[in-house]
Amino acid sequence: MTPPIGSTTDNSASTGPIAAAVLVPLFPASDSGSLYAVFTRRRTDLRRHAGEISFPGGRQDPEDADLAETALREAEEEIGLPRARVSLLGELSPVSTFVTNYVIHPFVGLIPNGLRWEASPTEVDAVLELPLDALRAARTRTRIERRGISFQTDAYVLDEHLIWGATARILENLLERAEELVLPHPSNR
């Protein structure tokens, strides 16, 4: 995973892309040790990204010491994940958004199994716990329509859940690098 957590940059003085961060919370299933990722489904009445599935996160606030703190703060605000319950493992490659001009810095964190979620009523419709093995098998190309424009895109379709765009690119990077992470897995015990 690159770059290391301490190498994130503060983009607040820049006129370029807007710095943002997401937390990619992972936890092992209690029965098999298989890894699950935690996502949010955004409310359908939001102005931007309505109804989309994403990792908890958002733009960097001036009071955030760094982008890792942004990711932890946003996860706490959006899904009630206490910062103290997250063991940061590293940062995935940043992902740019085309329309909104963000550079999203994804931070991977290991969390305990069985946490209770407190979804932000103003932002989050649901908190989703999806198995990485099933997501890996769910990669596909699909047709999406947004703002009257239909297009083909890489996506992950698992049951009724459609993950596409920046979140799909982050997930793809996570799945490619999952073996590099030191995570509890039945073969490592």
pLDDT tens digit sequence for 68-107: 999 999 999 999 999 999 999 999 999 998 778 899 999 9
**What pTM did the predictor assign?**
0.84
| pLDDT at residue 98, rounded to an integer | 77
**CA–CA separation, 176 and 82 (whole Å):** 27
Specify whether the CB–CB gap between 89 and 182 falls below 8 A.
yes
Q: Residue 67 falls within a domain, yes or no?
A: yes
The answer to whether residue 45 sits within a structural domain is yes
Q: Is 183 domain-assigned? A: no
Q: In this structure, are strands 53-54 and 57-59 parallel, antiparallel, or unpaired? A: unpaired
**Quick check: is 146 in a domain?**
no
Residue 145 lies in a domain: no
Tens-place pLDDT, residues 37-66: 999 998 867 766 666 899 999 999 999 999
Cα gap 66→63, rounded to integer Å? 9
Neighbours of 174 (CB within 10 A): 22
Does 91 map to a domain?
yes
Cα separation, 111 vs 128, whole angstroms: 14
Instruction: Provide the domain limits for residue 124.
Output: 18-131
Count of CB atoms situated within 10 Å of the CB of 116:
7
**Within a domain: 114:** yes
- Read off the CATH number of the domain in which 86 is found: 3.90.79.10
61 found inside a domain: yes
What total number of domains does the chain contain?
1
